Amino acid sequence: MLATLMTILKDNWQWRKQIARLALFDLVKKSRGAVLSWAWFFIKPGMYIFCFWFALDVGLRVGSGASSPDAPPYILWLSAGIIPWFFMQDMLSAGIDVLHRYPYLVNKIKFPLSCISTIFTSATMLVQLMLMVVLFIMYFACGMQFDAYLLQVPILLILMFLFWTVASILFSQLSAMSKDVANLVHAMSTPLFWLSGVLFNIKGVPLEWVQVLLQFNPITFFVTAFRGAFYEKTWFWDDPMACIGFATAFIITLILALFVYKRFNEEVADVL
């Protein structure tokens, strides 16, 4: 497995320039033909955030009832969790089936399959970085001051990029062999949104075993960690159980990805 890992790292390094160009081309292709062009990368997330904010804070009064008078606005808490979710949602929808998304790279150019996952993750991360700029603007607009807790944001972005690239390598190979895998992950996308703490604080869950289980959910880890940086002012490594849970999920995903890559890498082109 170590040899497979070294092969993946070597391929990504040797093809890094092509990966960067194709990632930018993917973004241009998404915005091509639209009058508002790149603005759609912000409009759709903005509409989602507004709808959830209006329903939860204005309608149900969840934010107003749970926050103290001196706490930052609820929309900052909400946005700090939903904006990272947009990246993870794209990875759960298209990121786990990238080999069908770029079949010409597999059959014609003979692009390293692990690099194809990196292309999509890089393109999606570029959108996430633009949304992070918006989140920082919201942060300062809410009267918050720059502090040391924000320094963990780049670390979290790197961890998120690495984990979901590995997850994409794993599931894209399996999805190429069987469409049932992609269909299963797509079906799980909505339940994962509602059950992973994107819209609620997992510490408020009354069942302790559910809290422990959620610690092994990477989505919960990233949502909670970004909220800690922007809103609650905590370091993600101050929660050992959350770090252990994420590390466990990362290692298991990496081992499975290496095993599947070694097993099916040569067969994917024939299947596609």
Confidence of residue 34 (pLDDT cuts 50, 70, 90): low
Q: What is the pLDDT of residue 69?
A: 60
pLDDT average, residue stretch 234-252: 95
Q: Are 103 and 41 in contact (CB under 8 A)?
A: no
Closest by alpha carbon to 81, among 126, 38, 123, 48? 48
Q: What percent of the chain has pLDDT over 90?
A: 61
Q: What percent of the chain has pLDDT over 70?
A: 92
User: Any idea where the domains of the chain sit in the sequence?
Assistant: 2-27+41-271
Q: Which long-range contacts (CB under 8 A, 24 or more apart) does 106-109 make?
A: 106/268, 106/269, 106/272, 107/269, 107/272
Q: Which two tokens stand for residue 148?
A: 């040391």
Q: What is the pLDDT of residue 257?
A: 95
123/15 Cα distance (integer angstroms): 15
pLDDT average, residue stretch 228-235: 94
Q: Is the pLDDT of residue 270 over 70?
A: no
The overall average pLDDT reported for the chain is: 89
How many helices (H) and strands (E) in the chain? 14, 0
Q: Are 240 and 221 in contact (CB under 8 A)?
A: no
pTM above 0.75, yes or no: yes
Q: Which two tokens stand for residue 12?
A: 């990504």
> What would the pLDDT profile of 62-96 be if each residue is shown by its tens digit?
765 455 566 788 999 999 999 999 999 999 998 88
Confidence of residue 40 (pLDDT cuts 50, 70, 90): confident
Confidence of residue 151 (pLDDT cuts 50, 70, 90): very high
pLDDT average, residue stretch 162-186: 91
